[in-house]
Amino acid sequence: MSLTLNLDFQYTTSIEKAWSAITDPSKLAKWIMENDFKPVVGHRFQFRTQPSEWWDGIINGEVLIVEEPNRLSYTWASGGEQHTVTWTLQDLGDGKVNLHLEQTGFSNTQGLEGARYGWSNWFGGFEQVLEQ
C-alpha cells in the first residue's frame, strides 16, 4: 500500500519568486535545510541537517522533472523509504500563486502524518523567503 500526502498553500507573490524559493539552494537552505540542490534533471543531491538518535539527518534525492516555473519533481529517500515529491505552481492572477505539494510512496500512516507535520512547519520559513 502506498499513501500520498497532498498540501496546498496560497501566497501573494509572483510565480517566479515561488519557483526560486523551491529551486535555489540558498533559499531552500533557509526554509528546509542545507543542500546541494540544482534544478537539473538527473542531478543527485542531499538535504542535510543535524542527526538525532532516530535519524541520520540526510535525505538523498534525484531531480526527475523540471518544467520552470510550473512543475518540479524529485525523489526523497530517507530512513529506508523512497518517496517522490512533486511541486506544482499555478498563477491564480491578482498576484496570487497556488503551491501544491504531492509526496507519494509512504508505506504507513505514521510516516505520512510525520511528513505533513514537517512540511507544515517548514512553510513558515517559506513565507519568510518569499518576503526577501
Q: Which three cell numbers stand for residue 80?
A: 529506508
Q: Exposure of 10 by Cβ count < 10 A (0-12 exposed, 13-18 middle, 19+ buried)? A: exposed
Give Rg (Cα) of the chain: 14
Q: Give how far Cα 95 sits from Cα of 7, 9, 15, Å.
A: 20, 14, 9
The answer to whether 76 touches 82, Cβ cutoff 8 Å, is yes
Is residue 65 scored above 70 in pLDDT?
A: yes
Is residue 130 scored above 70 in pLDDT?
A: yes
DSSP bridge partners of 78: 81
Is residue 105 scored above 90 in pLDDT?
A: yes
What percentage of the chain exceeds 90 in pLDDT? 85
Nearest to 13 by CA among 72, 99, 87, 71: 99
Global pTM? 0.94
